[in-house]
Amino acid sequence: MLINSSRLSISSTGRCLLASAMSQMDEVFGVQKRQMGRRQPKQGKPPILPPSKKVLYHVVHAPWQKPEDVEELLWRRHAYNNAVISLREVFRAELAQNASHGQGIEAMKEAEALELDELIAQNEKRNEEKRAARKEREAEDAKETKSVILEEIRVELEKRNAGKKQAEDEVKNAISRSSEFITRSNLETKILEALEKPTIYDFAIDRAGNKYFVPEPVKYQEGTPTRQKGRLYDQTLGTQHGTIEEANKIQQKSV
């Protein structure tokens, strides 16, 4: 509505409004415009202007020194320079003398090289000693290791021999017990023996090793056996005896 009205109007204020609205829209839609404007002038006098009267023809006159002071300072400077030159000559002569007597830098370098050779030789000697000592120590270690291994082999062999002997004994026992084994010939008698002496495993046992048969085993079953067995063992077993050792003690006391 605003844009339409500004287009229609001819006045300058309307054009300004339009321009400002367009620039705002540009900023909103991300179109950047460089702000062109006048630069700030540098501070001070423009270069085109001549120097001011205060500066122009203002010559600095250094104050003149007294002639006797100048003379004295010149003399002192000469004396100082001559002293330095003499000292340099003295030092040069000293260095040359040292070099000629074998005390110069070159001689020191040679001495250093000799010293280094000597130190390296000492190090080599020490290395050799250590090498020999290590060889000896390793030989001893090898000997000790060998003895340990041999001992281990001996123990293992003894163990195996013992196991072999035990197995032999077991076989011999089995062979000796084989006379009582059940065969076709003695089957009838063994069955009769089993009927006479039945072995019953239907019992409870406590920590003291007491067996509780419920119901009490009978040689021959009479009547109809009870069906419900669940509550038969509904009793606390073995609390009066404690551990096996305690039970054994109680038994020994009672005996």
Partner 1 sequence: MPFMHGSMPLRRTFFYLQQGKVKLRDNVNVFSMGFHKNPTPEQSGARDFVYWNWAQLQYHNPKVQLVKHADKVVTPFARAYLNDGREVLFDLDGMKREEIEKLLAKTLGKTELVERREHLESIAKLNPADFGSKNERQCMCEVQGQHPCTGLLRAPQCVTGKYRWNHNLI
Q: What residues line the site for partner 1 (CB under 8 A)?
A: 50-51, 55-56, 60, 95, 105, 108-109, 111-112, 115-116, 119-120, 122-123, 126-127, 130-131, 134
**Residue among 15 and 131 whose Cβ is closer to partner 1:** 131
Report the nearest approach of partner 1 to the CB of residue 146 (Å).
Answer: 20
How many other C-beta atoms lie within 10 A of the C-beta of residue 214?
14
Output the CA torsion sign for 195, 197, 199, 200. positive
**C-alpha to C-alpha distance for 202 and 225, rounded to whole angstroms:** 14
Axis crossing angle, helix 105-177 with helix 67-100, rounded to the nearest 10? 50
Structure tokens at 170: 């077991």
Output the CA torsion sign for 141, 147, 150, 151. negative
**Residue among 108 and 167 whose Cβ is closer to partner 1:** 108
Report the nearest approach of partner 1 to the CB of residue 69 (Å).
Answer: 14
First-to-last CA distance in the chain?
Answer: 126
Inter-residue contact 9 to 24 (CB < 8 Å)? no
List Cβ neighbours of 242 (8 Å cut-off, separation of 6 or more).
Answer: 207, 208
CA 3 to chain centre: 74
Report the nearest approach of partner 1 to the CB of residue 40 (Å).
Answer: 22
Inter-residue contact 203 to 241 (CB < 8 Å)? no
Report the nearest approach of partner 1 to the CB of residue 78 (Å).
Answer: 15
How many other C-beta atoms lie within 10 A of the C-beta of residue 135?
10
Q: How distant, in Å, are the alpha carbons of 16, 24, 25, 163, 242 from that of 9?
A: 11, 20, 21, 124, 118
Report the nearest approach of partner 1 to the CB of residue 85 (Å).
Answer: 13
**Residue among 111 and 157 whose Cβ is closer to partner 1:** 111
Report the nearest approach of partner 1 to the CB of residue 51 (Å).
Answer: 5
**Residue among 134 and 211 whose Cβ is closer to partner 1:** 134
**Residue among 111 and 195 whose Cβ is closer to partner 1:** 111
Report the nearest approach of partner 1 to the CB of residue 44 (Å).
Answer: 12
**Residue among 78 and 109 whose Cβ is closer to partner 1:** 109
**Residue among 129 and 245 whose Cβ is closer to partner 1:** 129
Amino acid at 84: V
